[in-house]
Structure 1
Amino acid sequence: MKKWTIAAGAMMVASVLMMGCGKEEAQPVEIVEGVDKCDICHMEVANNQHATEIVLKDGKALKFDDIGCMYRWTNENGTEQVDVQFVRDYLSKEWVKSDQASYAYDESYKTPMGYGVYSFKEKTAAEVFVQEQQTGKVMSAQDLSNHSWESSMKKHKEEHGGGHNGDGQSGTHGANADANGSHTPSAETQGKHN
């Protein structure tokens, strides 16, 4: 009788723990270079510190080559279907939930689509980065939700004219796009501050 009571008690504790766990927390999905395309600009997503992701409530992962593209997607589609958003720490490339990260912004910062926002796991790292650059400002996730998200490339095209490339799309998508539309980070972007 005593063994049965202990076994029944253990099963009850296990069931309560399993009920409390509920749904597994969404995790970022691996970036496959040369295959994955940005869900906004359709450029290749590099497996670097600029990659971002949205995991939808249905489990589908959307991938972006620049944090500005991720914010454009949420501005266009809303957040009702979003489970979690991930950004990468600029220094370590570690995935971080976007609402827990800190950010450094300046129009002069080089990013794949020219939005000029770098993400950091720790606020102090963002502060040190801005201080080292002697330009820019530290922002929170809340600040980003009110950010204008204007690409420096868009401004450049407006000021200097942007051509069309035969397929009806404006010019190249960013300073780092090659003739095939592939998108790779520049040596300056990739090597700077790693």
Structure 2
Amino acid sequence: MKKLFKIAILAIVIAFGVVGCDEKKEFGNIHFDRDVCEHCKMLISDKLYAVDALVADKHYYFDDIGCLIEWSKNQKIELENAKIYVADASSGEFFNAKDGFWYGGFLTPMNYGFAAFKKEQNNGKKVYKFSEVINLISTKPHSHEMHKAKHYMHDKALESKDKAHGKTLENADENLTPKHINDTKNSSQKDENETLKNQSKHEAH
């Protein structure tokens, strides 16, 4: 009886193990808000533009297709020989980037602007092949650097604004404090003079 019980437990463990293995996909296993982009080193948060590139049996994750292209240039990797999976910009489902319909003019995480779809879209935009997207991004300025610089300038502007606001309040306090002290002194002096005046009247009587 104990032997049968052990066999049953083992079978259950094996079954759960098989299910667990099935849950992990061949690609697209990105932990959003935990994994960072291989190129820009920022957290991958947007599920509609993420990229999973399989190069030499190793997965590399990116938050924008432009980051993959810039990274491949720096690493001297030919993307034609890599397996690249991208998220469908309408569903987040991963599929082969080379089979997708690509469109420009999107607000992507690092501002490269290209989004992929499994099916052709009736959005009035020009459709590109993946090879065309590679060529376009490769020949334009480093958008991700400009995007990060824009955020940097924005943060600096806010920081300067906060400092200026703090200085204004500080100056306001400095201006108010002496006035407050003078008002208090004048009020005290007035009360003292009034008291002496009343006292003199009382003595005269």
Q: Normalised by the shorter chain, which TM-score bucket?
A: 0.5 to 0.7
Larger radius of gyration, structure 1 or 2?
2
Percent identity between the two aligned chains = 25
Q: Which amino acid aligns with 2:65?
A: I
Contact 1:88 1:94 in 2 (8 A): yes
2:133 — aligned with what?
144
**Which runs of structure 2 are paired with 1:86-101 in the superposition (5 Å)?**
86-101=85-100
Asked if residue 171 in structure 1 is aligned to residue 152 in structure 2, the reply is yes
DSSP-derived class of the 1:90 partner = coil
Q: Which amino acid aligns with 1:38?
A: C
Moved more, 26-35 or 138-147: 26-35
The gaps in structure 1 that reach 5 residues or longer are 1-25, 164-169, 176-194
Between Structure 1 and Structure 2, which shows a larger proportion of helix residues? 2
Question: 1:145, CA displacement in angstroms?
Answer: 2.5
1:37 — aligned with what?
36
RMSD of aligned residue pairs (Cα, Å): 3.2
**Which runs of structure 2 are paired with 1:121-160 in the superposition (5 Å)?**
121-122=118-119, 124-125=120-121, 128-129=122-123, 131=124, 136-147=125-136, 148-150=139-141, 152=143, 154=145
Asked if residue 115 in structure 1 is aligned to residue 112 in structure 2, the reply is yes
Question: In structure 1, what is the Cα distance between the partners aligned to 2:79 and 2:87?
Answer: 23
User: CA distance change for structure 1 residues 75 and 88 in 2, over 3 Å: closer, same or farther?
Assistant: same
2:84 — aligned with what?
85
Question: 1:152, CA displacement in angstroms?
Answer: 4.8
Question: In structure 2, what is the Cα distance between the partners aligned to 1:150 and 1:41?
Answer: 15
Question: 1:143, CA displacement in angstroms?
Answer: 0.9
Question: In structure 1, what is the Cα distance between the partners aligned to 2:147 and 2:40?
Answer: 17
User: CA distance change for structure 1 residues 149 and 46 in 2, over 3 Å: closer, same or farther?
Assistant: farther
Task: Give the alignment's TM-score, normalised by structure 2.
Answer: 0.54
- Residue 74 of structure 1, aligned match among 61, 72, 75: 72
Question: In structure 1, what is the Cα distance between the partners aligned to 2:74 and 2:144?
Answer: 20
Number of aligned pairs? 129
